[in-house]
């Protein structure tokens, strides 16, 4: 391989640490735990597995921007509505913490969907390649 050809070659994102497999397993875990108490941990595990790609999309930063700009403000707005509807309960800090956690849990499917869609939009989809099935690659 010439030096020129070597300079133009970039390691595929999946070859780095096989992130396609990690993300696949984490997304699959989200699907399997949906509707159970383990779902929250599964969604956050997916979140913590998504990284900024060197010389590529800054996926983790995009997610953090969405959390700060969309998800947390929605949680705060829902909590504000709850406070209005429950003024007596809203005076107790423990009730506020509990309700905030409940609202966050209710909004986890939106968070998970955003991350899945982001991966798909940036070409990190899980599909058959070169005749190999992703299922074979998972194990």
Q: Is the pLDDT higher at 53 or at 100? A: 100
Given this model, what pLDDT does residue 18 score? 78
Give the Cα separation of 25 and 29 in Å (integer). 6
**What confidence tens digit (pLDDT) does each residue in 9-26 have?**
444 554 556 788 899 999
pLDDT at residue number 2: 47
Instruction: Provide the phi-psi class of 55: left if phi over 0, else alpha when psi is between -120 and 50, else beta.
Output: left
Is the pLDDT at 28 greater than 90? The verdict is yes
User: Which pLDDT does position 131 carry in this prediction?
Assistant: 46
Give 1's pLDDT tier (boundaries 50, 70, 90): very low
Helices within 86-125 (DSSP H only): 93-106, 108-121
pLDDT at 54: 81
Directed axis angle between helix 19-33 and helix 39-49, to 10°?
160
| Four-CA torsion 25, 26, 27, 31, nearest 10 degrees | 90
Query: What are the structural domain ranges in the chain?
Result: 18-50+59-138
Report the alpha-carbon distance of residue 58 to residue 137 in Å, rounded: 25
- 60-113 confidence digits (pLDDT tens): 999 999 999 999 999 999 999 999 999 999 999 999 999 999 999 999 999 999
What's the pLDDT score for residue 138? 52
Report the pLDDT averaged over residues 48-62: 91
**Residue 136: which pLDDT band, with cuts at 50, 70 and 90?**
low
Cβ contacts of 75 within 8 Å, gap of 6 or more: 100, 103, 104, 107
Say if residue 130's pLDDT is above 80.
Answer: no
């Amino acid at each position: 391989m010439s030096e020129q050809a070597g300079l133009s070659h970039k390691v595929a994102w999946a070859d780095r640490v096989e992130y396609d497999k990690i993300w696949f397993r984490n997304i699959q875990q989200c699907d399997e735990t949906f509707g159970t108490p383990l779902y929250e941990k599964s969604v956050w595990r997916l979140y913590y597995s998504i990284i900024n790609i060197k010389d590529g999309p800054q996926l983790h930063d995009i997610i953090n921007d969405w959390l700060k700009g969309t998800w947390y403000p929605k949680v705060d707005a829902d909590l504000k509505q709850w406070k209005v509807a429950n003024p007596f309960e809203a005076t107790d800090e423990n009730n506020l913490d509990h309700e905030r956690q409940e609202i966050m849990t209710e909004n986890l499917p939106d968070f998970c969907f955003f991350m899945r869609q982001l991966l798909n939009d940036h070409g990190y989809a899980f599909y058959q390649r070169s005749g190999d099935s992703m299922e074979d690659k998972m194990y």
